[in-house]
Amino acid sequence: MGKKLRKFNRATHRDLGYFFVAMILIYAISGIAINHLDDWDPSYVVKKWEVKTTKEISKKTFNSSEAKQLLHQWNIDEKYRKFYFPNKERLKIFFKGGNVILDLNSGVGRAETLKRRPLFHTVNWLHYNPNVYWKWFSDIFALALIILAISGMFILKGKNGLKWRGTILITIGILIPLLFLVLFYF
């Protein structure tokens, strides 16, 4: 590779790296979070607990005031939203950030709140391409990653470049995904 081409390669690699550093962090953080969907919800913190009441609830006379009283009884101080009866045996009360589903026969129910995780919710939202403009910017970023990967291989020369160390690391980096494909995909 000639001196001018090497200089252009380094400048391109450097400038794309600087320009897309935020995108790299967004997709790296959200990628880690999404990899662990079976372990946790990366976008929301969900809390559930049991509630009870001995109050007799009549579907015909139940109103918003009674719903607010039940929320107060259960120490739920969030703003009341609305209620409805999904069927003759259940009452569902909504409040800001959550809800309660109450079994009318037993008086036992489940309360649940849902709060956004500050960083993870935001980066996951971006990861899922929220609109057409972000989709196109993400595609440009993906092309930039290809350029970064290829240009990065030619930054160093000699034994630390493709002549020795670089070739070994590239080979290992290719073999690991191939091994996973052979073991778990085919």
Using CA atoms in the order 27, 120, 124, 177, what is the torsion angle rounded to 10 degrees? 40
pLDDT for residue 129 is more than 90: no
* pLDDT at residue 8, as a whole number: 96
* pLDDT at residue 26, as a whole number: 95
The closest alpha carbon to 99, from 91, 107, 108, 89, belongs to 91
100 and 111 in contact (C-beta within 8 Å)?
yes
Q: Which residues contact 120 (CB under 8 A, 6 or more apart)?
A: 29, 30, 33, 42, 43
- Which amino acid, 183? L
Mean pLDDT of the chain: 95
* pLDDT at residue 130, as a whole number: 87
Q: Where are the domains of the chain?
A: 3-39+118-185, 44-116
pLDDT for residue 71 is more than 80: yes
Q: Is the dihedral of CA 152, 154, 157, 162 positive or negative?
A: positive
Task: Report strand pairing: 98-103 vs 108-116.
Answer: antiparallel
Lookup: tokens for 143? 């092309």
Alpha-carbon distance of 63 to 68, in angstroms, equals 9
Q: Compute the average pLDDT of residues 17-30.
A: 96
* pLDDT at residue 133, as a whole number: 95
Q: pLDDT-derived band of residue 1, with 50, 70 and 90 as boundaries?
A: confident
Q: What is the pLDDT of residues 77-98, one digit of tens each?
A: 999 999 999 999 999 999 999 9
Q: Which residues contact 99 (CB under 8 A, 6 or more apart)?
A: 92, 93, 111, 112
pLDDT for residue 29 is more than 90: yes
pLDDT for residue 102 is more than 90: yes
Using CA atoms in the order 36, 42, 44, 45, what is the torsion angle rounded to 10 degrees? 70
